[in-house]
Structure 1
Amino acid sequence: MKTIASCVEDIIASQPFIEEALNQQIINFSALANNLQEPISKMLRKDIKTGAIMMALRRYNQPLNTNNSLRLKKVLNNLGDITVKSGLSDFTFKNSKTLTQCHTRVLEHIDTKDHIYYAFTRGIFESNIIVSSSEREHVLNEFKDEVQIGLQENLSSISINLPKGNSKVVGLYYHIFKKLAWEGVTLYEVISTTNEFTVLVEDHIVDKAFSVIKHLKD
């Protein structure tokens, strides 16, 4: 049977920013109760007073997994080097039978250029190529017969080395995304390997994004 408390839990679980604000005690319970009155009344199909919602909010306990919390803290405290690369372009092409051949030719071209940044991600219907903008014309030439969906320039990447065992820790990426979102950092692209995590942002916010990531250990 649905109760006011269970409705509050469902809403908060679907809106992590509210949960974080409650946990840090920086939210106005009265204002939040007023905001939740209509949706909770609809969920329970009867008029619910804000006082009852406020009581449920004050009694709300954020679900905690002590062991996982300790693992998460350990991983964050052991984050490795942070590397920033600027001057990047992001191409998006429609997948085709010949796309991989184009990708191979570009790789052969930049094989001896250690300073060139290159990342290739293949999705179900489209593929992305992130490359140093100095190679922009070469990529356009090699992929000239492919269907180009998009191109975004003036990008920077921020890569973080993650400690081993990070894939076993619940909420690691959520914690990173949450911190970036709280600071209003819009992510253009995300790339992840087993022990490396990279975000792509527009050049004008790279300093803010770097600062957020640098202080993840705090």
Structure 2
Amino acid sequence: MKTVAAAVEHYIKTKPFLQTALSQGIINLTSLARIIRKEIQNETTTREVRNGAIVMALKRLSTDMEFRSTHRIVRVLKNIGEIIVRSNLTDYTFLPSDTLMNCQAELLSKIQNSKDVFYATTRGVNETNLIISNTMEALVEDIFNKERCQYKVTRLGAISVKLPEENVSVPGIYYFIFQRLAWEGVSMNEVISTANEFTIVVPEFHVDVAFKVIKDLKLL
């Protein structure tokens, strides 16, 4: 069994969106205490947990979270580098085969001198994704005509973001970014990342909103 403070901290940490909202001071603590009192009571050694004790634990926790969870992340995000937006993309999902990589190699050899063509691929355990400029659709479908295409999604856009090198040592960077995109109703078809760069692929009608969300991170 836990103390009231420990029980409250554990509860909040299991609710990521609630954790961020609490750290930003946008939650009525008294109302939240009433809502979670029964669950906190079941987790504690205290005979009767009062709302006031939960409120005090929430206040201490919100102050601590604001510093621990946000300070280092914001410092990194203020140093975001260039943001590149691309449009008119198509996303193919192929099932595994013995010839799939040969098809990819053939495609790469034919587009390697096409500087304006966007191309990205991700190989998973059960499927492989290929994202490419829609001007190359006919070429892709010719080369991959014998492969099993599970999905084809058109009218997509991509936003590529350059992150400071220290992003790999600061927990929560991607969570912080993707949470804000989720709050704005942005859905993502793909996420492609390297050590210091990531690209999100979204429906074209979400590109403007997604770009603004990411650009505004530099103003935090």
Post-superposition offset of 1:65: 4.4
Query: Which secondary structure state, in structure 2, belongs to the residue aligned with residue 135 of structure 1?
Result: helix
Question: What is the 5 A alignment of 1:77-116?
Answer: 77-116=78-117
The residue identity in structure 1 corresponding to 2:81 is G
Deviation at 1:106, TM superposition (A): 1.1
Q: Which moved more, 1:184-193 or 1:208-217?
A: 184-193
Aligned to 1:13: 13
Deviations 1:113-140 (A, max 9, x none): 1111100111112111001112122212
> What is the number of equivalent residue pairs in this alignment?
216
Q: TM-score, length-normalised on structure 2?
A: 0.87
- The 1:42/1:137 distance shift into structure 2, 3 A limit, reads farther
What residue number does 1:201 align with? 202
Equivalent residue number for residue 64 of structure 2: 62
Q: What corresponds to 1:187 in structure 2?
A: 188
Deviation of residue 207 (structure 1)? Answer: 0.4
Runs of 5+ in structure 1 lacking a partner?
Answer: none
What are the Cα deviations for residues 89-111 of structure 1, in whole angstroms up to 9, with x where unaligned? Answer: 11111122211011111111212
SS in 2 for 1:210: helix
How far 1:47 moved relative to its partner?
Answer: 7.2
Give 1:208 shift: 0.5
Partner of 1:31: 31
Q: CA RMSD in A?
A: 2.3
Report the more deviating stretch, 94-103 or 35-44. Answer: 35-44
Corresponding residue number in structure 2 for 1:169: 170
SS of 2:200's partner is strand
CA contact (8 A) 1:19 1:62 kept: no
CA distance in 2, matches of 1:47, 1:136: 66
- Residue 168 of structure 1 deviates from its aligned partner by 2.1
Alignment-mate amino acid for residue 118 of structure 1:
Y
- Give 1:149 shift: 1.8
Is the CA contact (8 Å cut-off) linking 1:29 and 1:54 kept in structure 2?
yes
Shift in Å, 1:39: 3.1
Q: Distance in 1 between matches of 2:168 and 2:147?
A: 35
Contact 1:78 1:163 (C-alpha < 8 Å) held by counterparts: yes
SS at match of 2:17: helix
Cα distance change on mapping 1:33 and 1:154 into 2, 3 Å: same
* Structure 1 residue 22 displacement after superposition: 1.7
Alpha-carbon distance in 2 for matches of 1:104, 1:96: 14
Task: Give how far 1:181 is off.
Answer: 2.1
- Look up the match of 2:156: 155
Q: From the superposition, tell whether residues 186 and 62 of structure 1 become closer, same or farther in structure 2 (CA, over 3 Å).
A: farther
